Amino acid sequence: MTAPSDDLEFLLSRAADPDVSAEERARIAEAARRDAQAAKSVRGYERLGAILRAFRAIPKDLDVGNLAAGTSRRVAEAQGAPDAAPGDMKLDALLARSVRPLPPMDWHAFRSRVSDAVHAEEGPQIVRRGGHVRRWLLRAAVPLAAAAAVMLMVRTPRTSLVQVDVGYPAIERPVISVRFEQPGTRGVVSISFDRTASPAGIDEEQADAGVAIATGTRRIDAPEPLDVALLF
Amino acid sequence: MEPEVHEDESALEDAEAVRLSISGDTSAFDRLIEKYQRRAVSVAYRLLGNLDDAQEVSQEAFVRAFRSLQSLQEPKRFSAWLIRIVSNLSLNFRRARRPHLSLSLEDDGGGTISDRLADGGRRERSGLEIAESEELREILEAAVDTLPEPQRLALVLFAMEQMPQKEVAAIMECSVEMVKWNVFQARKNLKARLADYLEET
């Protein structure tokens, strides 16, 4: 018995799919009839399919009606909210539950480390724009030597609403988030600053920073507005 | 052909509900919520593994969808668009939680879950008992969660949620062939990792 080829394995993996054609079904049956290993593979995929369908299935008694009422209420609130912008999200609610605040940061040391890492790969391309919001788009490789994921988050004490250039007006606390996940992956670091924030706790050179987000997980091939919501 | 007729009717209803919602009729959007709430929560739950988070993300997805309705270029494809929002939010929400996942992978008494994944989950098992066992659930959780995101999403939408490949392709904004490839790679990956559990007893 030999392992099925990739083409055959692909076919066998579809044995229990609802959209498998009659012709494919016949080929699967023929392969299983002629080769015990193929037959075993089919049974394995069928069993896997059954397990996957049951995997994390929502409880049947989940009160979806109550949930829908809550959702409707939030939608109604969103409709009535002043200056609501497309794509606005209650980021703070999500962030508060998913990320722990970072202890005080040595921003000089941090910037130095990022800078060194960037320069070690290739020279950064810097794009600056005028107006209230400046954007640095650093196209560079983002190496990560030590950790599989590093996520740093700083929330400053200021609670005034901040209008960032990406159209999300209601980030109650300015946020700085840096995340590198894929060692050796080429990526982009994109940072947005807003002069209206001036949060405490950030070194003087970044005194006009309101929101700074950098990610190594999404490649941005051209300067474009950051979709803040999609970074989390 | 009948299912396609139903799909068309459903899509037309969605388009009308979108139109009414944009014109200010929030009850029309309530109908969309009722229609797709379970699917949204289900997808989010399969991706996140936590029902509370899934409900939170689903609600956010609906709010986000409502606020962006005017940017929806094909109102008939509301459902695919909504599930794309749910998927994106879920994956991004999960990325933010990843450090916690790393801890749970290491916190495992009789050999780490990662070890068990590496050796194909070799443990004593007996048929369906294993399929429902805590051990398999843990191993499957870890195996699914470590799949590359496109594979995981394709697997959730197609193999778990049983959505048509064409719809999955619309949600993932890729070709049907790419969906098939991702599902296959995910299945092959899981089959190898869960080899012992998938054998007949």
Higher per-residue pLDDT: B156 or A124: B156
Mean pLDDT of chain B: 80
Using a pLDDT cut of 90, give the percent of chain A over it. 6
Name the minimum distance, in Å, from the CA of A108 to any CA of chain B. Answer: 25
Average pLDDT over residues B42-58: 91
Give the pLDDT of residue B45. 92
Tokens, residue A57: 């299935």
- Residue A114 to residues A55, A107, A108: CA-CA distances in angstroms? 40, 10, 10
Name the minimum distance, in Å, from the CA of A177 to any CA of chain B. Answer: 10
Give the pLDDT of residue A57. 86
Tokens, residue A63: 């009160």
- Torsion angle, alpha carbons of B110, B113, B114, B120, to 10: 90
pLDDT classification of A220: cutoffs 50, 70, 90: very low
Nearest CB among B63, B159, B200 relative to A74 is that of: B63
Please check the confidence at residue B185 and state whether its pLDDT lies above 60: yes
pLDDT classification of A127: cutoffs 50, 70, 90: very low
Higher per-residue pLDDT: B5 or B22: B22
Q: Tally the residues of chain A.
A: 232
Nearest CB among B68, B95, B97 relative to A217 is that of: B95
Interface contact B104, partner A, CB < 8 A = no
Nearest CB among A52, A75, A88 relative to B160 is that of: A52
Per-residue DSSP letter, A171: B
CB contact under 8 A, A57 and B42: yes
Nearest CB among B46, B93, B159 relative to A56 is that of: B46
What distance separates the 2 farthest-apart alpha carbons in chain A?
Answer: 74
Give the pLDDT of residue A94. 52
Most confident of A51-60, A77-86, A101-110, B70-79: B70-79
Give the pLDDT of residue A63. 78
Count of beta carbons in the 10 Å neighbourhood of residue A159: 11
A138: Cβ contacts below 8 Å, ≥ 6 apart: A118, A124, A125, A126, A188, A189, A190, A191
- Looking at the DSSP bridge assignments, the partners of residue A206 are none
CB contact under 8 A, A48 and B64: no
- Looking only at the bridges linking them, the beta strands covering A212-215 and A175-180 are parallel
In chain A, residues 164-203 whose CB comes closer than 8 Å to chain B: 179, 181
Q: Over the stretch A32-88, which tens digit does the pLDDT of each residue have? A: 999 998 998 899 998 898 888 888 888 877 877 778 888 888 888 877 654 444 344
Please check the confidence at residue A16 and state whether its pLDDT lies above 90: no
Interface contact A47, partner B, CB < 8 A = yes
Are the C-beta atoms of residues B168 and B158 closer than 8 Å to each other? yes
Give the pLDDT of residue A106. 62
Interface contact A99, partner B, CB < 8 A = yes
Give the pLDDT of residue A68. 81
Name the minimum distance, in Å, from the CA of B13 to any CA of chain A. Answer: 19
Please check the confidence at residue A186 and state whether its pLDDT lies above 90: no
Dist CA A46 CA B188 (whole Å)? 12
Positions of E strands within chain B: none
Please check the confidence at residue A197 and state whether its pLDDT lies above 50: no
pLDDT classification of B9: cutoffs 50, 70, 90: confident
Give the pLDDT of residue A212. 38
Name the minimum distance, in Å, from the CA of B98 to any CA of chain A. Answer: 8
Give the pLDDT of residue B200. 62
Judged by average pLDDT, the poorest of A208-212, B65-69, B86-90, B186-190 is A208-212
CB contact under 8 A, A98 and B162: no
B134: Cβ contacts below 8 Å, ≥ 6 apart: none
Angle between helices A64-80 and B26-48 (to 10 degrees): 120
Please check the confidence at residue B188 and state whether its pLDDT lies above 70: yes
Q: What region does B163 belong to: left with phi over 0, alpha with psi -120 to 50, or beta? A: beta
Give the pLDDT of residue B4. 56
CB contact under 8 A, B95 and A232: yes
- The helix (H) or strand (E) run that includes residue A9 is helix A6-13
Please check the confidence at residue B5 and state whether its pLDDT lies above 90: no
Name the minimum distance, in Å, from the CA of B109 to any CA of chain A. Answer: 23
- pTM of the predicted model as reported, rounded to 2 decimal places: 0.56
Using CA coordinates, name the residue in chain B closest to A4. Answer: B188
In chain B, residues 122-181 whose CB comes closer than 8 Å to chain A: 131, 136, 140, 144, 155, 159-160, 162, 164-165, 180
Are the C-beta atoms of residues B86 and B40 closer than 8 Å to each other? yes
Please check the confidence at residue B184 and state whether its pLDDT lies above 90: yes
